[in-house]
């Protein structure tokens, strides 16, 4: 009666190991040798295993220091005495007849290796996994049916003839400490050696997806590559295998799948690029050795991608970004494609400001040149980047002559770059696209088709792409959706319908502007001032107020967690948000120069309060006084009408001495009751009073500390 040795690698699995061992103990086939390898568990895993060893003589245990999965499995293999070997992960469990079913198939068909299907997912919601592309319930050699090599490794859903692992080219795990994915190399070796293989079309194993598993760690950048390098070494030691893979493209297909999975799994761009660089070097070596054949099926996407990584890992990264943006764009865009006849297409200038946007500029420019509206010029304005932005843009310029390269003399900020672009535009209309964002498919055509003769500007909605995933941005996700989505089509005079105009995001991008309006009225972005988009938006509408807004998304905005103006604003960095109210000053100054201040005052009266609250709520406490004082100054200088806003009425007198009296006056001599929701002015006053108290306490403590230090110094002297 054949003996089956079952290896159970264990490390800190006290939560699951009983269910696993119980399912093995309950097997209908009883001639088992169950070897548990405790890899230095720090919880009660080792104690639990010892209980089974004490009550069932079939159980054995190897207690060892933590050296990793591969080393544990190799130690277990050395201890096996069975005719066949099975592997069960300690957080999984199996059907009662799994090993009886596998052994019967192996004996009846004289198999080297037999596999079954499995269940996957949380208990109660499991799904059957059948690897549908693999032929079932028949005997064949895996190398003659190479789709077998493209399966998930799943070494735990199999039974191995022990001699298969020992004969000739020995099969062992890669004993890399702390690594993961060691099943990749082991599975490949067993397939490559097997002459008689069968996959049963029945699920017998329950695979638990464990979110705490080490394979989920994004820090394990190179573990998959370690396994590929081991496969490479193993093949090159066997001339017959080497000759087989020289004629096949299966390794390109297999490694492409693993590469794409690992690339997508890594969360940080730096880790993705590190992985791609080493992968590129590996692919080049494997191609040179002849085992990685990318020419046999050169037109297949997998072979093209492997060749791309071998030649240009950075290029592959940009391709993937572009692909991702296209997926998002296609998901949100209309299926109705717009085609504007070429003879009806007026020249549109697209200004693309960029600064250290090498990670994104490739995707950004491709989203522009691939627009269905083709009568465009693209002015890429670089603000003295120190990365590969220039190199990438010039590569694209060789293929796309509509791209032009401009560069500032020194790093001067976004406004200066946009202004330079505006000075060189030749089109009738201008569109802005930031160098880390993309246009949606048919964006230009949709804006142009919506334009009517009387419209001064056409705007569209935007989709926000969160670079690190939505989970990291909290309430900002819903806020973005509300802000960047135009709720309904609007065709208004912005000076007369300010509330309606405020429903459109103020971003310079995602809009079609008339270049003649900009030049004739000297409209520029304010250099040296943040939040320049709002300034440009309202200056333009003050002289050309006829706005047409459409609901369709035309722009893909990339939201970063760090490094952008808005991310720094949300982190309440000192001196930033206060500039949002300085925009009001710049708009008013422009209106005075154009002698249209009487037209603009109605707009400004609607902007004072929201602009103030934006600055106040996104400022650190240390900036509160400055925000209020600056707002007070602006209200007085502009002779603002604050009658309709208590908060602005209060702030307009902020520089006067008796703030308590002013506060009382703002409420007609009454302080709001404590059991009612305090209005904005009351909340503001509480914040300011608390800040002033803290400032005084801090100043007092500082003085006391200085006195103490002086006294101690005198005593020491």
Mean pLDDT, each 10-residue run in order, the chain (717 residues): 96 95 97 96 96 97 94 95 96 96 97 96 81 94 94 94 90 77 91 96 89 51 90 93 93 92 82 91 94 88 91 82 67 62 85 92 91 95 94 93 96 96 97 94 92 95 82 82 92 94 95 97 94 95 96 89 74 88 94 91 91 90 89 92 86 68 46 40 55 61 75 70
Q: Give the CATH number of the domain where residue 525 resides.
A: 3.90.550.10
Q: Which string of b and e fits 362-379 if b means at least 16 CB within 10 Å?
A: bbbbbbbbebebebbbbb
Closest Cα to residue 53, out of 87, 17, 86, 96?
17
Alpha helices, DSSP H, located in 414-558:
414-424, 443-450, 476-484, 498-501, 515-520, 532-543
Q: Which of 541, 571, 601 is the last residue of a domain?
A: 571
| Residues 523 and 443 both lie in one domain | yes
Q: Where are the beta strands (DSSP E) in 30-141?
A: 32-39, 59-64, 84-87, 93-94, 113-120, 127-129
Residue 427 in 3-state DSSP? coil
Q: Which of 158, 178, 207 is the last residue of a domain?
A: 207
| Residues 499 and 625 both lie in one domain | no
For 228, the token pair is 């590929």
| Residues 561 and 606 both lie in one domain | no
For 373, the token pair is 């509206």
| Residues 413 and 538 both lie in one domain | yes
Query: According to the model, what pLDDT value does residue 559 have?
Result: 86
In a domain, 474, yes or no: yes
In a domain, 270, yes or no: no
Query: According to the model, what pLDDT value does residue 219 have?
Result: 53
Q: Which of 150, 185, 207 is the last residue of a domain?
A: 207
| Residues 368 and 428 both lie in one domain | yes
| Residues 11 and 47 both lie in one domain | yes
| Residues 599 and 516 both lie in one domain | no
Helix, strand, coil distribution of the chain in percent, nearest 5: 50, 15, 35
> CA–CA separation, 576 vs 580, rounded Å?
8
Is the entire prediction scored with pTM above 0.95?
A: no
Q: Are strands 84-87 and 4-10 parallel, antiparallel or unpaired?
A: parallel
In a domain, 226, yes or no: no
Signed CA dihedral, 318, 320, 326, 329: sign only: negative
| Residues 356 and 496 both lie in one domain | yes
Residue appearing with tokens 């603002």 = 640
Question: What contacts 281, CB < 8 A, 6 or more positions away?
Answer: none
Other residues' Cβ atoms within 10 Å of the Cβ of residue 617: 10
| Residues 38 and 160 both lie in one domain | yes
E strand or H helix that includes residue 539: helix 532-543
In a domain, 524, yes or no: yes
Q: Which domain holds residue 162?
A: 4-207
| Residues 565 and 687 both lie in one domain | no
In a domain, 331, yes or no: no
Contact 261, 306 (CB under 8 A): no
Q: 348 pairs with which residues across the strands?
A: 376, 429
Q: Where are the beta strands (DSSP E) in 181-296?
A: 197-207
Other residues' Cβ atoms within 10 Å of the Cβ of residue 63: 14
In a domain, 106, yes or no: yes
In a domain, 324, yes or no: no
Q: 198 pairs with which residues across the strands?
A: 114
| Residues 604 and 528 both lie in one domain | no
Domain count within the chain: 3
In a domain, 626, yes or no: yes
| Residues 19 and 163 both lie in one domain | yes
For 477, the token pair is 């996700």
* C-alpha distance from residue 338 to each of 333, 347, 444, 447 (Å): 11, 17, 10, 10
Backbone angle region of 51, left / alpha / beta, with phi > 0 → left and psi within -120 to 50 → alpha: alpha
């Amino acid at each position: 009666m054949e003996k089956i040795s079952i290896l159970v690698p264990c490390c800190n699995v006290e939560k699951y190991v009983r269910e696993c061992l119980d399912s093995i103990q309950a097997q209908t086939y009883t001639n088992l040798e169950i070897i548990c390898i405790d890899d230095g568990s720090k919880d009660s895993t080792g104690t639990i295993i010892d209980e089974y060893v004490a009550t069932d003589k079939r159980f054995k245990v190897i207690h060892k220091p933590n050296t990793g999965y591969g080393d544990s499995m190799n130690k277990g293999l050395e201890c096996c005495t069975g005719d066949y070997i099975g592997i069960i992960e300690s957080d999984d469990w199996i059907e009662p007849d799994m090993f009886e079913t596998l052994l019967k198939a192996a004996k009846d068909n004289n198999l080297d290796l037999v596999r079954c299907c499995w269940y996957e997912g949380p208990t109660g919601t499991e799904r059957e996994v059948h690897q549908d592309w693999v032929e079932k319930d028949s005997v064949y050699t895996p190398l003659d049916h190479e789709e077998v090599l493209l399966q998930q490794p799943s070494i735990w859903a199999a039974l191995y003839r022990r001699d298969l692992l020992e004969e000739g080219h020995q099969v062992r795990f890669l004993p890399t400490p702390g690594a993961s994915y060691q099943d990749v190399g082991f599975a490949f070796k067993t397939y490559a050696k097997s002459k008689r293989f069968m996959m049963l079309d029945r699920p017998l194993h329950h695979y638990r997806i464990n979110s705490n598993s080490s394979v989920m760690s994004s820090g394990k950048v190179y573990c998959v590559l370690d396994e590929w390098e081991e496969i490479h070494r193993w093949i090159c030691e066997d001339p017959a295998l080497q000759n087989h893979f020289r004629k096949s493209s299966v390794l390109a297909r297999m490694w492409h799948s693993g590469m794409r999975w690992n690339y997508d799994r890594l969360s940080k761009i730096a880790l993705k690029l590190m992985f791609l660089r080493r992968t590129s070097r590996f692919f080049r070596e494997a191609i040179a050795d002849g085992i990685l054949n990318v020419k046999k099926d050169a037109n297949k996407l997998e072979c093209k991608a492997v060749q791309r990584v071998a030649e240009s890992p950075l290029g592959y990264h940009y391709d993937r970004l572009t692909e991702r943006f296209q997926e998002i764009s296609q998901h949100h865009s209309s299926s109705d494609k717009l085609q504007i006849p070429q003879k009806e297409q007026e020249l549109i200038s697209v200004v693309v400001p960029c600064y250290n946007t090498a990670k994104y500029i490739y995707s950004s420019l491709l989203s522009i040149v691939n627009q269905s509206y083709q009568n465009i010029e693209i002015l890429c304005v670089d603000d003295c980047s120190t990365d590969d932005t220039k190199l990438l843009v010039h590569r694209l310029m060789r293929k796309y002559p509509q791209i032009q390269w401009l560069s500032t003399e020194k790093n001067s900020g976004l406004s200066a770059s946009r202004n330079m672009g505006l000075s060189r535009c030749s089109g009738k209309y201008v569109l802005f696209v930031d160098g880390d964002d993309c246009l949606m498919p048919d964006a230009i055509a949709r804006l142009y088709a919506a334009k009517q003769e009387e419209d001064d500007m056409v705007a569209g909605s935007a989709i926000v792409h969160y670079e690190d995933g939505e989970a990291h941005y909290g309430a900002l996700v819903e806020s973005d959706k509300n802000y960047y989505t135009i709720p309904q089509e609007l065709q208004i005079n912005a000076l007369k319908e300010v509330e309606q105009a405020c429903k459109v995001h103020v971003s310079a991008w995602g809009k079609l502007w008339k270049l003649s309006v900009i030049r004739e009225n000297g409209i520029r972005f304010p250099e040296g001032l943040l939040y320049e988009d709002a300034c440009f938006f309202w200056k333009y509408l003050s002289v050309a107020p006829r706005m047409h807004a459409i609901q369709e998304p035309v722009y893909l905005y990339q939201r970063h967690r760090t490094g952008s103006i808005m991310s720094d604003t949300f982190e309440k960095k000192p001196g930033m948000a206060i500039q949002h109210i300085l925009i009001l000053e710049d708009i008013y100054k422009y209106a005075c120069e154009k002698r249209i201040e009487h037209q603009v005052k109605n707009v400004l009266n609607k902007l004072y309060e929201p602009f103030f609250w934006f600055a106040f709520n996104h400022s650190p406490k240390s900036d509160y006084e400055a925000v209020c004082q600056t707002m007070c100054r602006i209200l007085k200088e502009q002779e603002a009408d604050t009658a309709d806003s208590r908060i602005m009425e209060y702030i307009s007198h902020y520089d006067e001495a008796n703030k308590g009296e002013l506060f009382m006056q703002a409420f007609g001599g009454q302080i709001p009751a404590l059991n009612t929701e305090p209005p904005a002015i009351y909340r503001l006053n509480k914040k300011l009073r608390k800040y002033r108290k803290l400032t005084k306490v801090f100043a007092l403590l500082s003085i006391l500390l200085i006195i103490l230090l002086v006294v101690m110094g005198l005593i020491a002297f």
